Amino acid sequence: MFIKKHPLALAIGALLLNASIMAHAVPQAEDPASAYQGGPSEVDAAAVGIVRSPGAPDLTEEEFEYAQKTYFERCAGCHGVLRKGATGKPLTPDITQERGQAYLQALISYGSPAGMPNWGSSGELTEDEIRIMASYIQHAPPVPPEWGMADMRESWKVLVKPEDRPTKQMNKLDLGNLFSVTLRDDGKIALIDGKSKEIIKTIETGYAVHISRMSASGRYLLVIGRDARIDMIDLWAKEPTKVAEIKVGIEARSVETSKFKGYEDKYVIAGDYWPPQYTIMDGETLEPLKIVSTRGMVVGTQEYHPEPRVAAIIASHEHPEFIVNVKETGKVLLVNYEDIENLTTTMIGTAPFLHDGGWDVSHRYFMTAANNSNKVAVIDSKDRKMTALVDVGKTPHPGRGANFVHPEFGPVWATSHLGDATISLIGTDPEDHPDQAWKVVDTLKGQGGGSLFIKTHPKSQHLYLDTTFNPDEKISQSVAVFDIQNFGAGYKVLPIAEWAGVTDGAKRVVQPEYNEAGDEVWFSVWSGQEEQSAIVVVDDKTLELKHVIKDKRLITPTGKFNVHNTQHDVY
């Protein structure tokens, strides 16, 4: 659509966008990485104060309140709560005041080809709202409140004491084939039976549950919401029952339990986005025991970062340790929990910004994405060191990744990417395939960028990947599947959203997840809170539709976690 002459655009167009972009008002290219990373922060704008800075345009209290709320909802996911930058550029006053009001208004209005949304030309913000936001980011960012031991203990609840819980499984559920399904915008999870495909129960949780994790014993299911609330669910009860809960911060993503022999179910750990810290808790009650800050220096530049968020956490099988990804500083922490009163930590420098990852097939090497550096770091959990830093495609986002035996290169671990259509296969067998170990041995091409998860199973011959945030709805509503024994044949497209029979909504397809037997793959068809969603079950042998789960309680389903596969790190 052609944009008529606008005084602001005419005055500063040369500063910001090239002539062709300004002339035709090309909307900001839909960047799947920004779409994924730029979700709202759970920081409550009302909980932070107003900061007025010299040299910045003044705002009324009402305008400050609006700007703070808008920033946390729309901007903090990319630029950081403290505006130090992450997926988006830094927006601290030394930078923003130098750019000036006109430049900032144009940037917010028209966006940039690098990934900044066009909030004004898209109609999402008015001209006056853009003025307020441009003024607001010239003031120093307000610092949200901390969240310490007193706050945690106040939020901590033991709903069923350990001594009042059963000593054996009291229900007839096939726990190994039970699925914990995130109902993202409904603040719940659904427990779905893998055989009957029926919802056993929905359980209220924190907002936008990010992951579900199983205790080492397979008894306790732990879920953590983006609001940093953890719920512990006892699957042995007569019906699955929440037995403890705690809020470990203001915003969070990760939770894990101890799995090393002799420490099974002893500890739980959770990592925060805000405050930047992790907390170790009692494994049966969630009583908070130890809080450790992750603020510190960035790998390489050695510059201080006040907001290094905790991303993925995984439990070591080689030592009594948690492996903790610290996002912005690019550091992997090996946190030894043998003596939490005298905590010892091994710090490994990798690359920014660390995100998610999973084990190789041996459960010795942690393969983790440094997605802003387009690399995968390989951490040897046995020898406690980084084995390799592997260049991959643009913005890797593997979930836990996928392990399988390549017909030519032997055991590999695969990641797909948010930023391009490629799939990187990394050799993981230094014993029998030393020439291929810790290198990209093959690069496949899928449907397009915007992939969040890639998945296979030891009993499957297929490799699946979603393209949830691809701007083409035909791609975001389907998945690609490869034959592991014949990559030369390319991929087959499965029309998952079409099979679901959902009539409205975005119908984005997300996260392939196998059942315990490895002969079914479940996909979420994710639409809005007021729209119908579904789960589609595919027969892994035939690649044909097997079942569609529809239920009025199935609101915004996203992640699905099979109990057996999650408990035993099968992927």
**Residue 258 exposed, middle or buried by CB count within 10 Å (0-12, 13-18, 19+):** buried
Q: Say if residues 527 and 509 touch (Cβ distance below 8 Å).
A: no
Q: Is 116 a catalytic residue?
A: yes
Write out the two tokens for 161: 């004491």
Q: Is 406 a catalytic residue?
A: no
Q: Is 78 a catalytic residue?
A: yes
Question: Which position among 139, 210, 305, 355 bears the catalytic label?
Answer: 355
Question: Which position among 116, 152, 214, 281 bears the catalytic label?
Answer: 116
DSSP-assigned beta bridge partners for residue 287? none
End-to-end, the C-alpha distance of the chain in Å comes to: 46
Helix axes 101-110, 7-16, angle to 10 degrees: 90
Q: Say if residues 480 and 465 touch (Cβ distance below 8 Å).
A: yes
Question: Which position among 210, 305, 397, 462 bears the catalytic label?
Answer: 397
Q: By three-state DSSP, how is residue 462 classified?
A: strand
**Amino acid identity, position 139:** H
**Among 568, 480, 571, residue whose Cα is nearest residue 213:** 568
Q: Is 397 a catalytic residue?
A: yes
**Residue 77 exposed, middle or buried by CB count within 10 Å (0-12, 13-18, 19+):** buried
Helix axes 127-136, 61-74, angle to 10 degrees: 90
Q: Is 214 a catalytic residue?
A: no
Q: Which residues contact 539 (CB under 8 A, 6 or more apart)?
A: 519, 520, 545, 546
β-strand pairing of 321-326 with 344-349: unpaired
**Which residues are catalytic, by number?**
75, 78-79, 116, 355, 397
